[in-house]
Chain A
Amino acid sequence: MKKFDKERMLLAVAGPVIALVVAVALTSIVLLASGKSPIEPYTIMFQQATYSDIQVLIINQASLYYIAALAVAIGFRMNLFNIGVDGQYQLAAMMAAVVGAHVALPAVLQVPLLMITAICTGAFWAGIAGVLKVTRGVSEVVATIMLNAIATSVIAYLWLPDVFGVKLGNNNTTGEMHKSGWIPGFSMGDAGEIYGLVILAVLLGIGYWIVLNRTRFGFDLRASGASESAAAASGVDPKRMVLTAMLLSGGIAGLAGLPILLGDTHTYSLNFPTGIGFLGIGIALLGRNSPVGIAFASLLWAWLDKASPELDFHGYDKEIAVIMQGLIVIAVVVSYESVREWGLRRQQRRVGAELAAGNVLGGNDNTDKEVAGR
């Protein structure tokens, strides 16, 4: 019986591996077409990954990607497409920065307060799309895209000097946060510091797995994603499920900006990283919505990001990494679907074969067992 489990593992790995191979091959073709070496950029980037300061950068960046991708994945698990993670984490980071600059509590209270602020902001922003979907049937895709644009405007408003903004030269900031809200990193000596909240990303990953695979709620959520009609018939309230999933996704999205906010920048400024929510979609896809898969995908993405600038010094364009990210996403979508179908068909055939060979669960002289004999 275990072999079917093993086979599922194999299929789970086959998708990403095929996608990566295809993406690398296509990138090499692009390189060849532009008259460059199709191999050297990879060796350069691999070499980058061996430097400890680059490793720290990769891990830090990956923690942001990881949390954002988890937020997207929660939605994916029940066929909800939360494109709004981008707006949700930016707005949440800003609100946390504002609260952190204006409230000064001891660290034991300050840090939870900032996290709750971020969670609530993200959940609220995603919740708007959720409420619109369950009450008015508005597609969450459209609603969250719009909310991204609105979030940008809201942030611009909050940056105004007479609201919460503090001008530093040409930069808009929210002022420096009180020190009690800073989270110290793990010092790596000369290589730099790993954000303290990398731990949060790990905990979120573990929590995500436990909730989804070990709780009743998680079962309902996965059932809703696998078959909306079957889930409804099993007793899941589809509307409540959509709203809960949206709130959860938004809440996690709200945390995506915190590692860098509390660990490094301590203010929400124009330099704050943007677009992590969108990258999170690709990463969640590549990671097959599984916490381990997303971890690998986040690290891969962060590596492409942080190792590619070096290419500029060797006569290559660092955009090669972006091309590769795009190709990976396309390859992933195609390869997963074909691997899934292939796997289903293969299992159907194998089950048929096992049955014909008499391997029926629970019978010892199966070949003679007849239904009507009961």
Chain B
Amino acid sequence: MANHDIHLSVRKGTVHALVGENGAGKSTLMKILYGMQKPDEGTIAVDGEQVAFSSPGDAIARGIGMVHQHFMLADNLTVLENVTLGSEKLYGIGAKARRKIIEISDRYGLGVRPDVLVEELGVAERQRVEILKVLFRGARILILDEPTAVLVPQEVDALFDNLRELKAEGLSVIFISHKLGEVLSVADDITVIRRGTTVGTAVPSETTPRQLAELMVGSELPTPETSESTVTDQAVIEVDDLVVFAKGSVSMGKGSAALLMDEVERGAVRLVLDHVSFTIHAGEVMGIAGVEGNGQTELIDALIGLKAADSGAVRFMGEDITGMSTRKRRENGIGYIPEDRHRHGLLLEAPLWENRILGHVTEKPNAKGFWIDIKGAQQDTRRIVEQYDVRTPGIDVTAASLSGGNQQKLIVGREMSHKPKFLIAAHPTRGVDVGAQAQIWDQIRAARREGLAVLLISADLDELIGLSDTLRVIFNGKLVADADPATITPEELGSAMTGAASGHLENEELAEAAELEEPTENPAPDAPEDEAR
């Protein structure tokens, strides 16, 4: 049983938030509501009328629409084409459909332009297209699966305005999120799911995020206190003037990089990393804030060795590793928590213990010389599963059968087990519930005390601010700004991420006080090679 005794009632014209840990059963519930899975017991009623869905088509016919976490849009088609795709029968694909799109867009303030190619749209606009797509099909109840995961704070606010429009028009919204602050700000009712059952409801106006989190995990939370700085002056990773072109895949030396620069000026080649320099010291967590797609992926790839630098150098523990293979880098002590765990972190159809080996096939306890040490790997997998609380019935199940958060815990456990000196942590807690999130943070903090250097990339600004010793903002392939995590607010960081601010970011009210009180709190920005470019 994945779910049992679920009680959920959504009132017309409200936003109903559904919160719960990973694997608590939110996705299963949504699948049932959307007709992708059939319940074994119990009933669903829409507008008081009992219904049974055997496919998403049935759900759509009853006015239930789903906006998935991963957008399902074809980049090379226009908004109009994307919206009408698969529901051509409703309003055709021509002027009538266009009128309908504009009408919906205006009514709910979505600001969708029907004739733009989807590839030209930003993440937030794409999401609005997805919402419009669902409304176009006549949905009266919208299910939004973690809609804010990909948005910056300003965009989140805009989304919430849209949701308020929807509910003012009498539509109902089911809103799934991990971000409790957001849930409290937008929801009218909250239902908490734990271990496959509904454990309670909350009224947003009378609840704090902390109470909600405790309701979710069923116990008291550890306090996430920022401990004192552990930054040392020993440089672990030094990135010097790193340049990567969208086209370039091999290092071609300085000369050809200059040639490519000409092409960049003509607009033929895009510069995805534009003269990036920074140093991370032992015991330092450097956070990089930025809207997705501004060069973070390329930076990670260049550091782990999946993409060669077109010019510039990367030094690790004083050694030049610019041309070193990925495997050698990992053996030398670079840990890697990838952005996309399904693509880069796991073999989904392989058992957990084989996933334990992945990325560390040459290292103990996975290998004995030329041979794989199956026993050693299995034993160590059991240890990781227990120590990192990976919820699984065994280590022989495939990685695909675990929930996203548990997959992530396995990856984090695997990477930390090899005592890395430098950890590339891209969204280390993405899709992970609050309890496990705190645990992963603790692991990173503990390793940092022992001298681990961390590059932290995250869309969760609270995580960035809470965990980092230094903060940089990446925009369009450049490190455009730096900030002090002790004083910066998520809103300020969010506006810098859109390219609105550069240089050293300071909180106007706090800056003076901070300078007076703790002038040496953050030593890194004084180092010359740390200058944001």
CB distance from A371 to the nearest CB of B (A): 3
Residues of B contacting A363 in the complex (Cβ-Cβ under 8 angstroms): 386
Residues of B contacting A371 in the complex (Cβ-Cβ under 8 angstroms): 21, 217, 389, 433, 435-436, 439
CB distance from A339 to the nearest CB of B (A): 13
Residues of B contacting A348 in the complex (Cβ-Cβ under 8 angstroms): 400-401
- Number of B positions contacting A (CB below 8 A): 70
Task: State whether B359 touches A233 (Cβ < 8 A).
Answer: yes
Task: State whether A372 touches B438 (Cβ < 8 A).
Answer: yes
**Residues 343-369 of chain B, each 1 if its beta carbon lies under 8 Å from chain A, else 0:** 111111111001001111110000100
* B392 interface contact, C-beta 8 A: yes
Task: State whether A216 touches B2 (Cβ < 8 A).
Answer: no
From B349, B359, B442, A234 is in contact (CB under 8 Å) with B359
Q: How far is the CA of A233 from the CA of B344 in the complex (A)?
A: 6
Q: Which residues in window 1-28 of A have CB below 8 A to B?
A: 1-2, 4-5, 8
Task: State whether B2 touches A352 (Cβ < 8 A).
Answer: yes
Residues of A contacting B328 in the complex (Cβ-Cβ under 8 angstroms): 235
Q: How far is the CA of A42 from the CA of B4 in the complex (A)?
A: 52
Q: Which residues in window 346-374 of A have CB below 8 A to B?
A: 347-357, 359-363, 369-374
Task: State whether A233 touches B338 (Cβ < 8 A).
Answer: yes
**At the interface with chain A, which of B200-208, B218-226, B238-246?**
B218-226
* B326 interface contact, C-beta 8 A: yes
Residues of A contacting B221 in the complex (Cβ-Cβ under 8 angstroms): 372
Q: How far is the CA of A372 from the CA of B367 in the complex (A)?
A: 34
26 contacts between A and B (CB under 8 A): A4-B396, A214-B372, A214-B374, A215-B370, A223-B358, A226-B349, A227-B343, A229-B344, A230-B358, A232-B326, A233-B326, A233-B338, A233-B344, A234-B330, A235-B325, A340-B349, A348-B401, A352-B28, A352-B401, A355-B391, A363-B386, A369-B389, A371-B435, A372-B435, A374-B222, A374-B389
Chain B positions near chain A (C-beta within 8 angstroms): 1-4, 21, 23, 28, 195-196, 217-222, 304, 306, 325-331, 336, 338, 343-351, 354, 357-362, 367, 370-372, 374, 382, 385-386, 389-398, 400-402, 433-436, 438-439, 442
From A227, A229, A353, A373, B2 is in contact (CB under 8 Å) with A353
CB distance from B400 to the nearest CB of A (A): 6
Closest-by-CB residue of B relative to A235 is B327
- Number of A positions contacting B (CB below 8 A): 49
* A220 interface contact, C-beta 8 A: yes
Task: State whether A360 touches B391 (Cβ < 8 A).
Answer: yes
* A30 interface contact, C-beta 8 A: no
Task: State whether A216 touches B401 (Cβ < 8 A).
Answer: no
* A219 interface contact, C-beta 8 A: yes
Chain A positions near chain B (C-beta within 8 angstroms): 1-2, 4-5, 8, 213-220, 222-223, 226-227, 229-230, 232-237, 340, 344, 347-357, 359-363, 369-374
Residues of B contacting A5 in the complex (Cβ-Cβ under 8 angstroms): 396
Residues of B contacting A374 in the complex (Cβ-Cβ under 8 angstroms): 222, 389, 439, 442
Task: State whether A356 touches B382 (Cβ < 8 A).
Answer: no
Task: State whether B385 touches A226 (Cβ < 8 A).
Answer: no
Task: State whether A216 touches B370 (Cβ < 8 A).
Answer: yes
Residues of A contacting B442 in the complex (Cβ-Cβ under 8 angstroms): 374
Q: How far is the CA of A218 from the CA of B382 in the complex (A)?
A: 23
Task: State whether A233 touches B304 (Cβ < 8 A).
Answer: yes
Task: State whether B358 touches A362 (Cβ < 8 A).
Answer: no
CB distance from A276 to the nearest CB of B (A): 31
Q: How far is the CA of A353 from the CA of B3 in the complex (A)?
A: 9
Q: How far is the CA of A43 from the CA of B393 in the complex (A)?
A: 47
CB distance from A236 to the nearest CB of B (A): 7
Task: State whether B347 touches A359 (Cβ < 8 A).
Answer: no
Task: State whether A362 touches B325 (Cβ < 8 A).
Answer: no
Task: State whether B393 touches A216 (Cβ < 8 A).
Answer: no
Q: How far is the CA of A241 from the CA of B386 in the complex (A)?
A: 34
Residues of A contacting B394 in the complex (Cβ-Cβ under 8 angstroms): 1, 4, 361
CB distance from A138 to the nearest CB of B (A): 17
Q: From known contacts A216-B367, A372-B221, infer whether A233 and B336 are also in contact, taking CB-CB under 8 Å.
A: yes
Residues of A contacting B349 in the complex (Cβ-Cβ under 8 angstroms): 226, 340, 344
